[in-house]
Amino acid sequence: MRIIPSAASPQWRDNSTCKSPRTSFRKLLFHNPLLMRDCSTYQFPRTSFRKLLFHNNRGIALITVILIVAILMAVAIELNRSSRADIYDAANLSDGIKLTYIAKSGFYGAAALLTNANPDRTTLLDAWTQTEILSIQSKTLFTDGYFIVTVQDEAGKIPLNNLINGNKYNPDIKDILIRLLSQPEFGLDEGKINEIVDSIKDWIDADEEVTGAGAESSYYASLDPPYEAKNAPLDCIEELLMVKGITNEIFNGTKEKPGLAQYVTADSDGAININTAPKMVLRALSAEISAELADKMDEYRRKEGNDLSSPQWYKQVPGMENVNISPGLITVKSNYFKIISVGLMKNMTQSLSGVVKRSEQKSFQIIKWRQD
Protein backbone atom coordinates (compact mmCIF):
# COMPACT_ATOMS: atom_id res chain seq x y z
CA MET A 1 0.00 0.00 0.00
CA ARG A 2 1.43 3.37 -1.04
CA ILE A 3 1.51 5.93 1.68
CA ILE A 4 0.69 9.46 0.52
CA PRO A 5 2.41 12.18 2.61
CA SER A 6 0.19 14.67 4.23
CA ALA A 7 0.15 18.22 2.97
CA ALA A 8 1.48 19.44 6.29
CA SER A 9 4.56 17.31 6.13
CA PRO A 10 5.73 16.61 2.62
CA GLN A 11 8.54 14.09 2.44
CA TRP A 12 11.18 13.26 -0.05
CA ARG A 13 11.84 9.68 -1.18
CA ASP A 14 14.51 9.38 1.48
CA ASN A 15 11.78 9.86 4.07
CA SER A 16 13.11 13.32 5.07
CA THR A 17 10.68 16.10 5.60
CA CYS A 18 10.38 18.62 2.74
CA LYS A 19 10.02 22.17 3.91
CA SER A 20 8.11 24.78 2.04
CA PRO A 21 10.32 27.47 0.33
CA ARG A 22 8.01 30.13 1.71
CA THR A 23 8.50 28.84 5.28
CA SER A 24 12.26 28.82 4.81
CA PHE A 25 12.31 32.39 3.49
CA ARG A 26 10.22 33.59 6.44
CA LYS A 27 12.61 31.94 8.83
CA LEU A 28 15.53 33.42 6.99
CA LEU A 29 13.93 36.85 7.06
CA PHE A 30 12.65 36.96 10.64
CA HIS A 31 14.82 34.49 12.58
CA ASN A 32 18.24 34.93 11.09
CA PRO A 33 20.47 36.39 13.84
CA LEU A 34 22.40 38.32 11.20
CA LEU A 35 19.33 40.47 10.63
CA MET A 36 18.45 41.34 14.22
CA ARG A 37 17.61 44.97 15.09
CA ASP A 38 19.94 45.29 18.08
CA CYS A 39 22.56 46.89 15.84
CA SER A 40 25.12 44.32 17.02
CA THR A 41 25.09 42.57 13.71
CA TYR A 42 24.66 43.48 10.04
CA GLN A 43 22.27 46.32 9.35
CA PHE A 44 20.53 47.50 6.19
CA PRO A 45 22.29 50.47 4.47
CA ARG A 46 19.33 52.78 5.22
CA THR A 47 19.55 52.02 8.93
CA SER A 48 23.33 52.71 8.87
CA PHE A 49 22.87 56.05 7.09
CA ARG A 50 20.27 57.17 9.59
CA LYS A 51 22.59 56.30 12.44
CA LEU A 52 25.46 58.16 10.78
CA LEU A 53 23.27 61.17 10.13
CA PHE A 54 21.53 61.44 13.47
CA HIS A 55 23.82 59.75 15.97
CA ASN A 56 27.33 60.62 14.75
CA ASN A 57 28.39 63.96 16.34
CA ARG A 58 31.56 64.16 14.27
CA GLY A 59 29.53 64.35 11.03
CA ILE A 60 27.35 67.14 12.34
CA ALA A 61 30.40 69.11 13.46
CA LEU A 62 32.03 68.73 10.05
CA ILE A 63 28.94 70.01 8.24
CA THR A 64 28.68 72.93 10.68
CA VAL A 65 32.31 73.89 10.14
CA ILE A 66 31.87 73.79 6.35
CA LEU A 67 28.81 76.06 6.55
CA ILE A 68 30.61 78.55 8.81
CA VAL A 69 33.65 78.65 6.53
CA ALA A 70 31.44 79.25 3.48
CA ILE A 71 29.63 82.12 5.23
CA LEU A 72 32.91 83.67 6.38
CA MET A 73 34.31 83.45 2.86
CA ALA A 74 31.24 85.19 1.43
CA VAL A 75 31.47 87.94 4.06
CA ALA A 76 35.20 88.38 3.42
CA ILE A 77 34.70 88.66 -0.35
CA GLU A 78 31.95 91.25 0.09
CA LEU A 79 34.03 93.28 2.56
CA ASN A 80 36.96 93.18 0.16
CA ARG A 81 34.80 94.34 -2.74
CA SER A 82 33.24 97.12 -0.67
CA SER A 83 36.63 98.26 0.64
CA ARG A 84 38.12 98.35 -2.84
CA ALA A 85 35.14 100.36 -4.12
CA ASP A 86 35.58 102.87 -1.28
CA ILE A 87 39.29 103.15 -2.03
CA TYR A 88 38.61 103.77 -5.73
CA ASP A 89 35.93 106.35 -4.91
CA ALA A 90 38.30 108.16 -2.57
CA ALA A 91 41.07 108.09 -5.18
CA ASN A 92 38.72 109.45 -7.86
CA LEU A 93 37.52 112.20 -5.53
CA SER A 94 41.10 113.13 -4.72
CA ASP A 95 42.07 113.17 -8.42
CA GLY A 96 39.00 115.24 -9.25
CA ILE A 97 39.92 117.86 -6.64
CA LYS A 98 43.50 117.99 -7.92
CA LEU A 99 42.29 118.32 -11.50
CA THR A 100 39.93 121.17 -10.60
CA TYR A 101 42.71 123.14 -8.95
CA ILE A 102 45.05 122.50 -11.87
CA ALA A 103 42.41 124.04 -14.17
CA LYS A 104 41.89 126.93 -11.74
CA SER A 105 45.63 127.57 -11.74
CA GLY A 106 45.50 128.04 -15.51
CA PHE A 107 42.51 130.37 -15.21
CA TYR A 108 44.08 132.63 -12.59
CA GLY A 109 47.45 132.52 -14.33
CA ALA A 110 45.88 133.90 -17.50
CA ALA A 111 43.98 136.50 -15.48
CA ALA A 112 47.29 137.66 -13.98
CA LEU A 113 48.67 138.20 -17.48
CA LEU A 114 45.65 140.36 -18.30
CA THR A 115 46.11 142.61 -15.27
CA ASN A 116 49.71 143.31 -16.25
CA ALA A 117 48.79 144.40 -19.80
CA ASN A 118 48.58 148.02 -20.95
CA PRO A 119 45.03 149.20 -20.10
CA ASP A 120 45.16 151.96 -22.71
CA ARG A 121 45.75 149.68 -25.66
CA THR A 122 45.03 145.97 -26.15
CA THR A 123 46.77 144.20 -29.02
CA LEU A 124 47.64 140.73 -30.23
CA LEU A 125 51.25 141.37 -29.20
CA ASP A 126 50.41 141.58 -25.48
CA ALA A 127 51.55 138.94 -23.00
CA TRP A 128 48.04 137.55 -22.50
CA THR A 129 48.13 136.19 -26.06
CA GLN A 130 51.12 133.99 -25.22
CA THR A 131 49.04 131.37 -23.42
CA GLU A 132 50.77 128.53 -25.28
CA ILE A 133 53.96 129.30 -23.36
CA LEU A 134 52.05 129.38 -20.08
CA SER A 135 50.44 126.03 -20.90
CA ILE A 136 53.81 124.42 -21.68
CA GLN A 137 55.30 125.77 -18.45
CA SER A 138 52.45 124.21 -16.46
CA LYS A 139 53.92 120.75 -17.08
CA THR A 140 56.78 121.67 -14.75
CA LEU A 141 54.45 123.00 -12.05
CA PHE A 142 52.54 119.79 -11.34
CA THR A 143 53.86 116.27 -10.81
CA ASP A 144 51.00 114.43 -12.48
CA GLY A 145 49.06 116.97 -14.54
CA TYR A 146 49.05 120.22 -16.50
CA PHE A 147 46.65 122.73 -18.03
CA ILE A 148 45.92 124.22 -21.43
CA VAL A 149 44.60 127.77 -21.28
CA THR A 150 43.34 130.19 -23.93
CA VAL A 151 42.16 133.80 -23.74
CA GLN A 152 39.67 135.47 -26.06
CA ASP A 153 39.12 139.21 -26.24
CA GLU A 154 35.34 139.68 -26.05
CA ALA A 155 35.73 143.27 -27.24
CA GLY A 156 36.98 141.93 -30.57
CA LYS A 157 33.59 140.34 -31.26
CA ILE A 158 30.23 141.71 -32.41
CA PRO A 159 28.19 142.89 -29.38
CA LEU A 160 24.76 141.32 -29.90
CA ASN A 161 23.10 143.18 -27.04
CA ASN A 162 23.80 146.37 -28.99
CA LEU A 163 21.75 145.11 -31.91
CA ILE A 164 18.82 147.21 -30.71
CA ASN A 165 18.20 150.72 -29.45
CA GLY A 166 15.09 150.42 -27.36
CA ASN A 167 12.89 148.14 -29.46
CA LYS A 168 14.35 149.28 -32.78
CA TYR A 169 17.35 148.08 -34.74
CA ASN A 170 20.77 149.63 -34.23
CA PRO A 171 21.52 149.87 -37.97
CA ASP A 172 25.33 149.78 -37.61
CA ILE A 173 25.39 146.52 -35.63
CA LYS A 174 22.66 145.06 -37.82
CA ASP A 175 24.73 145.71 -40.96
CA ILE A 176 27.84 144.22 -39.38
CA LEU A 177 25.97 141.06 -38.34
CA ILE A 178 24.42 140.65 -41.80
CA ARG A 179 27.81 141.10 -43.49
CA LEU A 180 29.33 138.51 -41.14
CA LEU A 181 26.68 135.88 -41.90
CA SER A 182 26.81 136.70 -45.62
CA GLN A 183 30.44 135.62 -45.91
CA PRO A 184 30.77 132.47 -48.05
CA GLU A 185 32.35 130.51 -45.20
CA PHE A 186 28.92 130.23 -43.51
CA GLY A 187 27.14 129.12 -46.67
CA LEU A 188 23.81 130.81 -45.76
CA ASP A 189 21.29 132.28 -48.18
CA GLU A 190 19.68 135.68 -47.77
CA GLY A 191 16.43 134.32 -46.38
CA LYS A 192 18.20 132.36 -43.65
CA ILE A 193 20.38 135.35 -42.74
CA ASN A 194 17.36 137.62 -42.36
CA GLU A 195 15.59 134.98 -40.26
CA ILE A 196 18.55 134.74 -37.87
CA VAL A 197 19.08 138.50 -37.51
CA ASP A 198 15.36 139.27 -37.06
CA SER A 199 14.95 136.43 -34.57
CA ILE A 200 17.89 137.65 -32.45
CA LYS A 201 16.36 141.13 -32.42
CA ASP A 202 12.96 139.73 -31.32
CA TRP A 203 14.64 137.62 -28.64
CA ILE A 204 16.28 140.59 -26.92
CA ASP A 205 13.78 143.41 -27.52
CA ALA A 206 11.12 144.05 -24.89
CA ASP A 207 7.99 143.74 -27.04
CA GLU A 208 6.05 140.86 -28.56
CA GLU A 209 5.88 142.30 -32.06
CA VAL A 210 7.36 139.99 -34.68
CA THR A 211 10.10 141.58 -36.80
CA GLY A 212 10.20 140.42 -40.43
CA ALA A 213 11.18 136.74 -40.47
CA GLY A 214 11.77 136.74 -36.69
CA ALA A 215 9.77 135.12 -33.89
CA GLU A 216 8.19 135.99 -30.56
CA SER A 217 6.61 133.92 -27.80
CA SER A 218 3.71 132.77 -30.01
CA TYR A 219 6.23 130.82 -32.13
CA TYR A 220 8.24 129.39 -29.25
CA ALA A 221 5.04 128.31 -27.44
CA SER A 222 4.33 125.93 -30.33
CA LEU A 223 7.61 124.05 -29.86
CA ASP A 224 8.17 120.92 -27.79
CA PRO A 225 8.96 121.77 -25.08
CA PRO A 226 7.32 125.20 -25.28
CA TYR A 227 8.94 128.35 -23.91
CA GLU A 228 8.71 132.11 -24.25
CA ALA A 229 10.93 134.67 -25.95
CA LYS A 230 13.29 136.21 -23.41
CA ASN A 231 12.58 139.83 -24.40
CA ALA A 232 15.70 140.94 -22.53
CA PRO A 233 19.45 141.20 -23.23
CA LEU A 234 21.48 138.03 -23.61
CA ASP A 235 23.21 136.75 -20.49
CA CYS A 236 25.36 134.37 -22.51
CA ILE A 237 25.69 133.56 -26.18
CA GLU A 238 24.56 129.97 -25.57
CA GLU A 239 21.04 131.42 -25.45
CA LEU A 240 21.27 131.73 -29.22
CA LEU A 241 20.62 127.99 -29.45
CA MET A 242 17.05 128.78 -28.35
CA VAL A 243 16.56 131.40 -31.05
CA LYS A 244 14.64 130.57 -34.21
CA GLY A 245 16.86 129.76 -37.17
CA ILE A 246 20.07 129.10 -35.20
CA THR A 247 20.98 125.43 -35.32
CA ASN A 248 23.80 123.72 -33.47
CA GLU A 249 25.75 123.62 -36.75
CA ILE A 250 25.41 127.38 -37.27
CA PHE A 251 26.26 128.14 -33.65
CA ASN A 252 29.21 125.80 -33.10
CA GLY A 253 30.33 125.31 -36.68
CA THR A 254 31.68 122.16 -38.32
CA LYS A 255 35.00 121.03 -39.75
CA GLU A 256 34.11 122.82 -42.97
CA LYS A 257 32.26 125.86 -41.60
CA PRO A 258 32.95 128.38 -38.84
CA GLY A 259 30.61 128.80 -35.90
CA LEU A 260 28.75 131.99 -35.07
CA ALA A 261 29.82 131.64 -31.41
CA GLN A 262 33.40 132.57 -32.33
CA TYR A 263 32.45 136.03 -33.55
CA VAL A 264 29.68 137.36 -31.27
CA THR A 265 29.50 138.22 -27.59
CA ALA A 266 27.08 139.14 -24.83
CA ASP A 267 29.85 140.83 -22.79
CA SER A 268 31.18 144.08 -24.19
CA ASP A 269 31.22 147.82 -23.78
CA GLY A 270 29.73 148.09 -27.29
CA ALA A 271 32.67 149.03 -29.53
CA ILE A 272 34.74 146.46 -31.41
CA ASN A 273 38.47 146.37 -30.75
CA ILE A 274 40.03 146.59 -34.20
CA ASN A 275 43.37 145.47 -32.75
CA THR A 276 42.12 142.02 -31.72
CA ALA A 277 39.02 141.30 -33.82
CA PRO A 278 39.12 138.05 -35.86
CA LYS A 279 39.64 138.58 -39.57
CA MET A 280 36.05 137.64 -40.38
CA VAL A 281 34.87 140.40 -38.03
CA LEU A 282 37.27 142.85 -39.70
CA ARG A 283 35.66 142.01 -43.05
CA ALA A 284 32.23 142.67 -41.55
CA LEU A 285 33.15 146.19 -40.37
CA SER A 286 32.67 147.60 -43.86
CA ALA A 287 31.36 146.37 -47.18
CA GLU A 288 34.59 147.71 -48.69
CA ILE A 289 36.87 145.37 -46.71
CA SER A 290 37.62 142.23 -48.72
CA ALA A 291 39.27 139.08 -47.45
CA GLU A 292 42.58 140.28 -48.92
CA LEU A 293 42.36 143.64 -47.14
CA ALA A 294 41.50 141.89 -43.88
CA ASP A 295 44.66 139.80 -44.25
CA LYS A 296 46.71 142.97 -44.75
CA MET A 297 45.13 144.57 -41.67
CA ASP A 298 46.03 141.49 -39.64
CA GLU A 299 49.63 141.57 -40.84
CA TYR A 300 49.92 145.27 -40.01
CA ARG A 301 48.65 144.94 -36.42
CA ARG A 302 50.95 141.98 -35.72
CA LYS A 303 54.10 143.76 -36.87
CA GLU A 304 56.31 145.12 -34.11
CA GLY A 305 56.70 148.90 -34.12
CA ASN A 306 53.42 149.81 -35.80
CA ASP A 307 51.39 152.34 -33.83
CA LEU A 308 48.05 150.86 -32.80
CA SER A 309 47.10 153.47 -30.23
CA SER A 310 44.41 155.02 -32.48
CA PRO A 311 41.50 153.16 -34.13
CA GLN A 312 42.31 155.00 -37.35
CA TRP A 313 45.54 153.04 -37.87
CA TYR A 314 43.74 150.96 -40.51
CA LYS A 315 44.11 153.94 -42.83
CA GLN A 316 47.85 153.16 -42.91
CA VAL A 317 47.24 149.76 -44.46
CA PRO A 318 47.82 149.70 -48.24
CA GLY A 319 44.46 149.66 -50.02
CA MET A 320 42.55 150.93 -46.98
CA GLU A 321 43.06 154.65 -47.61
CA ASN A 322 39.53 155.19 -48.94
CA VAL A 323 37.75 152.77 -46.57
CA ASN A 324 35.64 154.39 -43.88
CA ILE A 325 34.51 152.71 -40.67
CA SER A 326 32.20 154.55 -38.31
CA PRO A 327 34.41 155.85 -35.47
CA GLY A 328 31.79 154.90 -32.89
CA LEU A 329 31.99 151.25 -33.89
CA ILE A 330 35.67 150.60 -33.22
CA THR A 331 38.14 151.03 -30.37
CA VAL A 332 41.64 149.86 -29.35
CA LYS A 333 40.81 149.04 -25.71
CA SER A 334 39.36 145.90 -24.19
CA ASN A 335 37.91 145.32 -20.75
CA TYR A 336 36.15 141.97 -21.15
CA PHE A 337 38.00 138.69 -21.71
CA LYS A 338 36.93 135.08 -21.81
CA ILE A 339 39.35 132.58 -20.27
CA ILE A 340 39.10 128.85 -20.98
CA SER A 341 41.30 126.54 -18.92
CA VAL A 342 41.39 122.76 -19.28
CA GLY A 343 43.12 120.67 -16.63
CA LEU A 344 44.55 117.31 -17.70
CA MET A 345 45.70 114.47 -15.44
CA LYS A 346 46.07 110.81 -16.33
CA ASN A 347 43.02 110.08 -18.51
CA MET A 348 40.81 112.79 -17.01
CA THR A 349 40.03 116.37 -18.04
CA GLN A 350 38.32 119.26 -16.30
CA SER A 351 37.24 122.41 -18.16
CA LEU A 352 36.70 125.83 -16.60
CA SER A 353 35.60 128.95 -18.41
CA GLY A 354 34.70 132.42 -17.32
CA VAL A 355 34.46 136.03 -18.37
CA VAL A 356 36.51 138.59 -16.47
CA LYS A 357 36.36 142.35 -16.54
CA ARG A 358 39.66 144.17 -16.26
CA SER A 359 39.88 147.52 -14.46
CA GLU A 360 42.39 150.34 -14.76
CA GLN A 361 43.66 149.51 -11.26
CA LYS A 362 45.26 146.33 -12.65
CA SER A 363 42.67 144.06 -11.09
CA PHE A 364 39.90 141.95 -12.50
CA GLN A 365 36.40 140.87 -11.62
CA ILE A 366 34.88 137.52 -12.54
CA ILE A 367 31.61 138.25 -14.35
CA LYS A 368 30.72 134.68 -15.26
CA TRP A 369 32.00 131.28 -14.23
CA ARG A 370 31.30 127.82 -15.60
CA GLN A 371 32.71 124.41 -14.72
CA ASP A 372 32.12 121.52 -17.13
The pLDDT tens digits of the residues spanning 309-329 come to: 999 999 999 999 999 999 999
Higher-scoring residue by pLDDT: 93, 114: 114
Inform me whether the pLDDT recorded for 52 exceeds 60: no
pLDDT for the residue numbered 77: 83
* pLDDT more than 70, % of the chain: 81
Which of 300, 307, 181 shows the shortest CA–CA distance to 246? 181
Which of 7, 23, 2, 103 shows the shortest CA–CA distance to 348? 103
Which of 355, 161, 131 shows the shortest CA–CA distance to 239? 161
CB 338 within 8 A of CB 264: no
The pTM for the full model equals 0.75
Domains present along the chain, CATH in parentheses: 106-371 (1.10.40.60)
Q: How confident is the model at residue 264 (pLDDT cuts 50, 70, 90)?
A: very high
Higher-scoring residue by pLDDT: 94, 116: 116
Q: Is 150 exposed, middle or buried (0-12, 13-18, 19+ CB in 10 A)?
A: middle
Q: How many residues does the chain have?
A: 372
Mean pLDDT of the 337-366 span: 90
Residues sharing a CB contact under 8 Å with residue 355, sequence separation 6 or more, in sequence order? 154, 267, 336, 337, 338, 339, 366, 367, 368
Inform me whether the pLDDT recorded for 369 exceeds 50: yes
Q: How does 183-217 read in b/e, with b if 16+ C-beta sit within 10 Å? A: eeebebeeebbbbbbbbbbbbbbeeeebbebbbbb
Inform me whether the pLDDT recorded for 156 exceeds 90: yes
Mean pLDDT of the 225-246 span: 96
